[in-house]
Structure 1
């Protein structure tokens, strides 16, 4: 069973990495390796993805690259048993810990919520989402791998979610319902919509990284917790000269799994 859990955790990490990488590559960002480190720089900012070892000098190079590009934050996703002391030495602080959960798509309801629509429509980007509209292009660029769903109540955008195909696994990302519309079943409706799209595309298993509070919701939808990871974050001091000379960044948007 432990070996199975180890394999499942590796799948969760791969799906998360593939999502960040796809968004960077297809939306004007960059992806690169520096020794054992795999970096992505896209709509989610600059992130170091699940290193097994963390050479101090290589992380320093990544941080300097982020600073030169005008980033204010650098993220790192790691397994709990990874030695993260080099990150702490450079000033990274430990952040939220994703609870990794999986579910067979056969166990998730296929019910349809009439308030949820698969695909983007005019008005799907609200003022508080800023440049999120740039991300919606991904569903047109990669229509066989990425699926976006939006919820509307009386014509008002109330929430959204994504699913992303990585092999036969579907990552569920950015599932969120705006506060005035929570506790009305929209979260389940969004989940069912993006899962159904992934199932039709050939996915067998759903993957989610969530908070302990979110885990209660997803457990009720058929998900099982298989492990936990951690994130580390470094805030960079603003450098007006570097920021002024850097190429424009894609607007930040939540790229972490559903929470």
Structure 2
């Protein structure tokens, strides 16, 4: 039995979740791990060389904290190479994200769930002359420089539930491997074809190769009598998938755990208690905790490297942020801006103009980098009015704020920075 007829968007979301869950399990077993399950929470064990996955928890509010504590205890005893938790929207329970952040996970990206009726796949797309696509599940692609997902491990046929459940499509152009994709076929009432690991080397992008390897996977699934294909996409990949006929059926949530941080600073029960109260904006709990936490506690980074103030900002809990400030927590210009305290942000800069050059997060982005990234012209004007150092570069891309604005096509902000440089 497979997902058939005219599936509604929510059914396609469920099909994507089911496909991901099954795939994670088989990937874990292929790498020597296993799947564990306790009270509505399942996860793959992971290994020192592979991450654990926590697919789509279905937890009861009165039991969620205990189950997540058991998960963290497992990771402390058997550390994986990181961990990722996936959820549909809304999560179950609704405050799942707060509970995970309190225990060391950090905010992740939001998957865009997309679905395609394979009877309506759009197959007429230009591709480079001489492009060849072949099925190959055994060839190692580790040596292909710049190929995303090159280290994907394909499970052996003996692990498959059905023949041909996993297939990898490799694109060759001008005698070299330039791209690939993987299709994973799940079975049952939500059985669908999951499209994964679509990647093209940098020099061959923008030529239609990504669409070609995705189309090959879709046509294979259709030959196997599958009605629907599902995938998760970033905003960057969405337009390419839409040209094949995929439509957005919903968005999800992810949270990610850095093992080294967990091992160095396991979340203490009192830290979890405070973080959950802040993240939920629980006024009664915060009042009860007032006398227990001093400025050092409130400003100390949590397991996930966020401060309590950053947690309040992330969860849009302005009242909790005020509670933190009253207790001695620091509030940065970016914190104030993101809480819609724009006058306070301006006042903070007026009092300390050097704060405009504060470096935020692991990427060392400045206030102006955030303005360029978000295309926030008002924030850019506020930052520029404080006389920022325009030569400061982020840590990951080594780009100035002007470089970010130009790369992202945010012309107005680029023009504002260029004008300020004259």
Regarding TM over 0.5, the answer is: yes
The 10-residue stretch of structure 1 (151-160 or 140-149) with the greater mean CA deviation from structure 2: 140-149
Deviation at 1:133, TM superposition (A): 6.1
Q: Is the 8 A contact 1:139 1:147 kept in 2?
A: no
Q: Does the aligned pair in 2 maintain the 1:108–1:221 contact within 8 Å?
A: yes
Say if 2:181 is the partner of 1:158.
no
CA deviation map 1:135-171 (0-9, x unaligned):
1354675342111011122222211110011124100
CA drift at 1:37: 0.2
Give 3-state SS (helix, strand or coil) of 1:183's partner.
coil
Shift of 1:121: 6.2
Q: Does 1:18 align with 2:35?
A: no
Give distance in 2, aligned partners of 1:103 and 1:28. Answer: 33
Gaps of 5+ in 2: 1-6, 265-422
Give the greater-gyration-radius structure (CA): 2
Q: 1:119 to 1:222 in 2, by over 3 A?
A: same
Supply the distance in 2 between the matched residues of 1:123 and 1:16 (Cα, whole angstroms). Answer: 23
Q: TM-score, normalised by structure 1?
A: 0.81
The answer on whether the counterparts of 1:124 and 1:150 sit within 8 Å (CA) in structure 2 is: no
Instruction: Choose which of 30, 46, 49 in structure 1 pairs with 2:52.
Output: 46
Pick 1 or 2: higher relative contact order, CA cutoff 8 A, min separation 6: 1
1:131–1:195: structure 2 CA closer, same or farther, 3 Å change rule?
A: closer
Which among 97, 103, 119 is matched to residue 90 of structure 1?
103
Residue correspondences, number: 238
* Offset of residue 52 of structure 1: 2.3
Aligned residues: CA RMSD: 2.8
Matching residue of 1:61: 70
Taking structure 2 as the reference length, what is the TM-score of the superposition?
0.51
Structure 1: runs of 5 or more not aligned: 241-259
Q: CA distance change for structure 1 residues 133 and 179 in 2, over 3 Å: closer, same or farther? A: closer
> C-alpha distance in 1, partners of 2:194/2:201?
21
After superposition, the Cα gap between the structure-2 partners of 1:234 and 1:122, relative to the gap in structure 1 and judged at 3 Å, is closer
2:134 aligned with 1:117, yes or no?
A: yes
Task: Give the secondary-structure state (helix, strand or coil) at the position aligned to 2:80.
Answer: coil
Contact 2:65–2:99 under 8 Å retained in 1: yes
The Cα of 1:234 is off from its aligned counterpart by 1.6
User: Per the alignment, do residues 235 and 134 of structure 1 end up closer, same or farther by CA in structure 2, a change over 3 Å counting?
Assistant: closer
Separation (CA, whole Å) in 1 of partners of 2:250 and 2:14: 10
Task: Report the counterpart of residue 181 of structure 1 in structure 2.
Answer: 204
